[in-house]
Chain A
């Protein structure tokens, strides 16, 4: 029953957000601030995640295919495609569920328990327009950019690891990667990151916005936001793969 009640509240919050999305002047400043927080400030962790994912995947793929049955360029093909289709979006999504999701739910949760959201409403603001809409919109817009960054850096990490470890030279890695590069895979990755951006920011906004009970309540909201974001990233990843692949 509690899950159904929460889902109803979540849907209602999204409906309110959707209805007020046209009130651009109310959330314009917050939207640009969120572009910076969700997008720009996530670039370092996304770069790091991308590089190491690509590097480790290259080493592991080379280890598993250590046979003369396949040309060495197959490592580039597997790493390139895995990163573009799956890893850049999902691992990036999971990392951002922690970084972005936790920040959003803590921020809104603290505002809720310290009556800052009540203060906004009491002044005549629509707090959903002011707080939820810019965060979700920024997530939807910035996650694809972060995905492209992670995918690019992931392939660079693979190239570097292959060269440093002497598995295959960069030219052969890229030859393999190009061989199995399909533009629709990038579109698929962008669609995934778009959905992950929505899932993570909307769940985190909901959990923060409905937090109650002081510091412990904010802590619970943040934990639930992070855990639920991770679960729904994985779930939506599966659903999208089943539908689009």
Chain B
């Protein structure tokens, strides 16, 4: 379970958000939505302690991430997989090695076992043939899928997605949405998806967190969101030109 409590973050004099509190139950898929520049990705990075807040806490199974020692934090981070916006693939090594990377350092698997695991992960993201390619040869959608394969290779409990469909055509976006659903269902992963793509939200989310005007503006289930008359949320959905 992820519990975000009274989180506040600012960069110098610029307040990003304050008083952000919500919780995510195990196995749930939660979408964090909001306009560009509202600090959604900043919030995601806090969930992995890649950034630290000015105040507040994020608890994973009751333990506050920001109070852990660095070695404890590194262990906790291994429960997470993150799909970064651009994939964040290591460009000095091949696609296969990118996916194999965590296995080589955190497991004692033999080479043939690593090969099997990597091929399995690449198969799950429909990229069986891409292993030998260099990362420079991959398209935007392929980079995200390889990033996803790398994120799931250690079988994490939590998967954090940072704008998984941004910059992709509608068809590839749908493929990524399908993958997110598949990961949540087949691997029983708790997912947090940062997005401003309402089409994605309606496809994948069970709960929705809406960040607006430097605070948590609305939090509820997808069904509640559809019924909500909260003006900023309604404006956001309307502006996204998506009919619920």
Q: Which of A87-122 contact B (CB under 8 A)?
A: 111, 114-116, 118-119, 121-122
Chain B 66-97 per-residue mask, 1 if CB under 8 angstroms from chain A, else 0: 00001000110110111011101111000000
Q: Which of A115, A124, A125 contacts B88 (CB 8 A)?
A: A115
Interface residues on A, range: 10 to 19
In angstroms, Cα B17 to Cα A192, docked, is 50
Q: How far is the CB of A93 from chain B (nearest CB, A)?
A: 26
Which residues of the other chain, B, contact A121 by a CB distance below 8 angstroms?
Answer: 48, 50, 77
Main secondary structure of the interface of A (DSSP, over half): helix
A115 and B75 contact, CB distance less than 8 A: no
Q: How far is the CB of B121 from chain A (nearest CB, A)?
A: 14
Q: Does A126 contact B (CB under 8 A)?
A: yes
Residues of B within 8 A of A (CB-CB), count: 23
B88 and A116 contact, CB distance less than 8 A: yes
Nearest residue, chain B, Cβ from A26: B105
A124 and B50 contact, CB distance less than 8 A: no
Q: Does A245 contact B (CB under 8 A)?
A: no
Q: How far is the CB of B50 from chain A (nearest CB, A)?
A: 5
Q: How far is the CB of A38 from chain B (nearest CB, A)?
A: 15
Q: How far is the CB of B155 from chain A (nearest CB, A)?
A: 13
Which residues of the other chain, B, contact A122 by a CB distance below 8 angstroms?
Answer: 48, 50, 77, 80-82
Q: How far is the CB of B82 from chain A (nearest CB, A)?
A: 5
Which residues of the other chain, B, contact A125 by a CB distance below 8 angstroms?
Answer: 74, 105
Which residues of the other chain, B, contact A124 by a CB distance below 8 angstroms?
Answer: 74-75, 77-78, 102, 106
Nearest residue, chain B, Cβ from A33: B92
Of B75, B90, B105, which is in contact with the most chain A CB atoms at under 10 Å from its CB? B105
A118 and B78 contact, CB distance less than 8 A: no
Q: Does A123 contact B (CB under 8 A)?
A: yes
In angstroms, Cα B45 to Cα A26, docked, is 24
Q: Which of B45, B91, B106 contacts A118 (CB 8 A)?
A: B45
In angstroms, Cα B150 to Cα A115, docked, is 14
Which residues of the other chain, A, contact B91 by a CB distance below 8 angstroms?
Answer: 114, 116
Which residues of the other chain, A, contact B84 by a CB distance below 8 angstroms?
Answer: 115, 118-119
- 22 of the cross-chain contacts (CB-CB < 8 Å) are A111-B90, A114-B86, A114-B88, A114-B91, A115-B86, A116-B90, A118-B84, A118-B88, A119-B82, A119-B84, A119-B88, A119-B90, A121-B48, A121-B77, A122-B48, A122-B77, A123-B101, A123-B106, A123-B154, A124-B77, A126-B70, A126-B74
| Given contact pairs A111-B90, A115-B88, a sample of 13 additional A-B residue pairs in the complex whose CB atoms are under 8 Å apart | A26-B105, A114-B86, A114-B91, A115-B86, A116-B90, A118-B45, A118-B82, A118-B88, A119-B82, A119-B88, A124-B78, A125-B74, A125-B105
